[in-house]
Structure 1
Amino acid sequence: MPLSLLRFAASKTHPEPRMFRRFNQLKESYDVVIIGAGGHGLAAAYYLARDYGITNICVLEKGYIGGGNTGRNTTIVRSNYLTPEGVQFYDASIRLWEDLAEDFDLNLFYSRRGHFTLAHSDSAMRTMRWRAEVNKHYGVESEVVDADFVHRVLPMMDLECGGHAPVLGALYHAPGAIVRHDAVAWGYGRGADLRGVEIHQQTAVTGIDVRSGKVVGVNTTRGYIHTDRVLSAVAGSTPAILDMVGLESPIFVHPLQAMVSEPTKPWLDPIIVSGSLHVYVSQSARGELVMGASLDPYELHSTRSTLDFVEGLAAHMLDLFPFLSPLKVVRQWAGMADMTPDFSPIMGKTPVEGFYLDAGWGTWGFKATPIAGKTMAHTLAENQPHPLIAGFSLDRFTDFSLTGERGAAAVGH
């Protein structure tokens, strides 16, 4: 460690404040209780405090801040979705992402890279054209490019993919970016904390008190809390929370795995996604290749990683980049992806008065963090769904008004 850094650490002139306060006990009541101190829960608390002046908020986390899917993803940000609802929602999120570091006064390592979704068949090219037209209609920068364009930008890629699935073209989305995921949780957490929000880690919810169809309180491992508004933002733990209020949803949970390589010098600037090969990859600021694939094919409430995943993903990576064969994998992990039948989230009010839901994010929740927090804050403060989430309501599954996003969200990227 450099001597100058040691001197700074020991300095009494410029002591660094704690990122978050610690609380020895819960208060008896709060205006809002948010379950889950991941990106979505902390963002909702931040915008409730900043935009609506609601600061008597308790955020409950059974583990530690950002320890769930917020810290278990591949940090990709994009808005090149397929449905009008998805495109507008994620485009609003990107606009928030671009100014977020300034809002927090914290370096989030937000890096605009460009995003290639590779097409390996004529039908895939048709889908890319469809997505590009929807994107352009809503002012999102996306275009279909041919294989020659891909080769000029990525000359190191084997466009034949080992003969298994030659690249015919791609959907190129210039705003595609990556960002440091843990810093996002810290930024929202610190911003909420500075405005008076209490974040209680290592505090699990054991029950939600519902009387006459209304929320009146929350039971935790550290005592009972009186409240009439509860937001659940717990990703793969959503079914367990819904059981506490007597609600059912079509959510099913699958593991989603990822891995990183040892660092190398920068060589891959854009983000690469292939639905046919079930692979997506970007290079981090530290030089690691951050790689992921599709969902594991079985339902499992677990974050266990597997050898089968590494072998399969490594094989597909070598189809694209054969020269990577000497590269070592240094770690792998898994998250719990809360999937819905139409591959769109569930957001807003529920049949239980005072109980709000932010769930069903599956493989695309991290990139929605800013706009999910902002729209859910509006929904809690006004008790009316924000216009951007009208297509994501829970009752769409009983009304059969689905928001089919599978065509742009079926690979975990």
Structure 2
Amino acid sequence: MPFRLLKFALSKEHPEPRMFRQPDRLKSNYDAVIIGGGGHGLAAAYYLARDYDIKNIAVLERGYIGGGNTGRNTTIIRSNYLTPEGVKFYDESVRLWQDLSQDFDLNLFYSNRGHFTLAHTDSSLRTMRWRAEVNKHFGIDSELVDPSEVQKACPMIDMTCGGHAPILGALYHAPGSIARHDAVAWGYGRGADLRGVEIHQQTEVLGIQIESDRVTGIETSHGTISTPRVLCAVAGFTPRILDMVGLRSPIQIHPLQAMVSEPMKPWLDPIIVSGSLHVYVSQTARGELVMGASLDPYELHSTRSTLDFAEGLAAHMLELFPFLSHVKVVRQWAGMADMTPDFAPIMGKTAIEGFYLDAGWGTWGFKATPVCGKTMAYTVANDRNHDLIQDFSLSRFERYELVGEKGAASVGH
């Protein structure tokens, strides 16, 4: 490091402000409390303060901000979903993503790459065509392409996939992008903090107080507080919070693992996804390959990562890119995916007055971060579900009005 840069860094004349404050203690009451200091919770706090002037908010995080699924994902952003509900919702999110760096005055490393979902069978090719037509109907830039287009965009790929799963075509989604996940949490956290929101880390929720089917307060590891509005945005911990208010959901928790390689010179510009091989991969600005696979096939409330996963994913990666056989894996991790039966989220008001839910994100929560913040802030501020989330209510399971988003999960979930 140059001496002049080190001198500047250590100078008291140019102090670097903290990303956000660390409040000493909880106040006795808040206008709203958000449980979960990940991207969704912090985004909701940010938009509540910015758009609705509700600033007396506490964000409660049992660990550290962004330490849950926000920091345990593969950072892919897209809107090429299958249902009209999903397409409209995620398209709004993509639109919001494009301006976030300017909103935060923080580089999120948002990078538009293009997204190829590979088809290896006739049936998967039909599904890609279906998704392309639904996308086009709503003005989303998606199209079915032949193998030559895949080869042109990614010359390093083995089009035969080891000779047993030849690529027959792909769904190409031009807006597909990646971003830096931890910077998203920091950006929303700093933006909320600057507007008066309190972020309390290492603060666990122990109970939720309810009187006459209405929220009145929160019991935490640092004391009890009064509030008329509570937003739950805790991903894999959702069933535990719902138990506190006597609500049930069809959510099941499955581990979702990923891993990253050592840095390499840039060679993979697009995002490549194969549902048949259970692989999705992109290359970061630092040259690392970020790789993911399908859900673990068992229900488990844990973020452990396994050797079996790393071996299986590495084998499938080599079917796509045989030249990677000498590349090292430097780390791996797991998140807790809260899966719903129809692969769509659960959002909005609940049977408990003042208790709002943002859950059921499974494998697609990161890409929805901005739109979740916007729509949940609207819902909490107005006590009315935003139009974009009307079809995602918890009550849809009682009415058997499922959304049916499984065909757009992109990997074999």
Give TM class, smaller chain: over 0.9
- Equivalence for 1:307: 307
Residue 329 (structure 1) aligns with:
329
User: Could you say which residue in structure 1 is the equivalent of 2:89?
Assistant: 89
> Which residue identity is paired with 1:227?
T
Deviation at 1:12, TM superposition (A): 2.6
Q: Which residue of 2 aligns with 1:53?
A: 53
Amino acid at match of 1:232: C
Q: Is the 8 A contact 2:275 2:412 kept in 1?
A: no
- Which structure 2 residues correspond to residues 230-249 of structure 1 after superposition, within 5 A? 230-249=230-249
Aligned twin of 1:399? 399
Deviation of 1:411 (Å): 2.4
Aligned length: 413
Kept after mapping to 1: 8 A contact 2:242/2:248: yes
Aligned residue for 2:67?
67
Give the drift of 1:70: 0.2
* Structure-to-structure mapping, 1:131-280, within 5 angstroms: 131-280=131-280
User: Structure 1 CA distance, aligned partners of 2:199 and 2:395?
Assistant: 31
Give 1:11's aligned residue.
11
CA contact (8 A) 2:274 2:410 kept: no
Query: C-alpha displacement at 1:409, in angstroms?
Result: 1.2
Mapped partners of 1:2, 1:61: distance in 2: 38
SS in 1 for 2:314: helix
Q: Give me the whole-angstrom Cα distance separating, in 2, the residues matched to 1:412 and 1:316.
A: 13
Question: CA shift at 1:115, angstroms?
Answer: 0.2
Q: Residues 41-77 of structure 1: CA distance to partner in whole angstroms, max 9, x if unpaired? A: 0000000000000000000000001000000000000
Worse-matched range after superposition: 401-410 or 361-370: 401-410
CA distance in 2, matches of 1:33, 1:358: 13
8 A contact 2:117–2:410 mirrored in 1:
no
Give the percent of matched residue pairs that are identical in Structure 1 and Structure 2.
Answer: 77
Question: Cα RMSD over matched residues?
Answer: 0.9
In the alignment, structure 1 residue 31 sits paired with structure 2 residue 31: yes
Whichever residue aligns with residue 213 of structure 2, its letter is G
Are the counterparts in 2 of residues 292 and 412 from structure 1 also a CA contact under 8 Å? no
Residue 354 of structure 2 is matched in structure 1 by 354
Amino acid at match of 1:154: C
| One-letter amino acid of the counterpart of residue 48, structure 1 | L
Query: 1:6: how far off?
Result: 1.1
1:11 positional shift? 2.1
Tell me what 1:294 maps to.
294
CA separation of 1:412 and 1:225: change in aligned 2, threshold 3 A: farther
Q: Is 1:99 the equivalent of 2:95? A: no
Structure 1, residues 109-149: CA drift from partner, whole Å, max 9, x if none?
00000000000011111101100011011111000000111
SS at match of 2:342: coil
Would the alpha carbon gap of residues 77 and 407 (structure 1) be closer, same or farther in structure 2, given more than 3 Å must change?
same
Q: Which amino acid counterpart does residue 257 of structure 1 have in structure 2? A: Q
Amino acid at match of 1:35: I
TM-score by length of 1: 0.99
Residue deviations 1:147-182, cap 9 Å, x none?
111111111100100012110000000000000000
Structure 1 contact 294–410 (Cα < 8 Å) conserved: no
Q: Report what 1:341 is aligned to.
A: 341
Letter in 1 for 2:73: N
Q: Distance in 2 between matches of 1:4 and 1:372?
A: 43
Q: For 2:46, give the aligned amino acid.
A: Y
**How far apart, CA to CA, are the structure 1 residues paired with 2:241 and 2:410?**
26
List alignment gaps of at least 5 residues for structure 1.
none
Contact 1:364 1:412 in 2 (8 A): no
* Alignment TM-score, normalising by the size of structure 2: 0.99
Other structure's SS at 1:325 match:
helix
Give CA deviations for 1:16-61 in whole Å, capped at 9, x if unaligned.
1111101111000000000000000000000000000000000000
Question: SS of the counterpart of 1:331?
Answer: strand
- Aligned residues of 1:363 and 1:412 also touching (Cα < 8 A): no
Where do 5+ consecutive residues of structure 2 fail to align? none
1:394 is paired with a residue of what secondary structure? coil
8 A contact 1:254–1:298 mirrored in 2: yes
After TM superposition, list the pairs within 5 Å mapping 1:90-129 onto structure 2.
Answer: 90-129=90-129
Is the contact made by 1:363 and 1:411 (CA closer than 8 Å) also made in structure 2?
no
Q: Partners in 2 of 1:262 and 1:235 — Cα distance?
A: 29
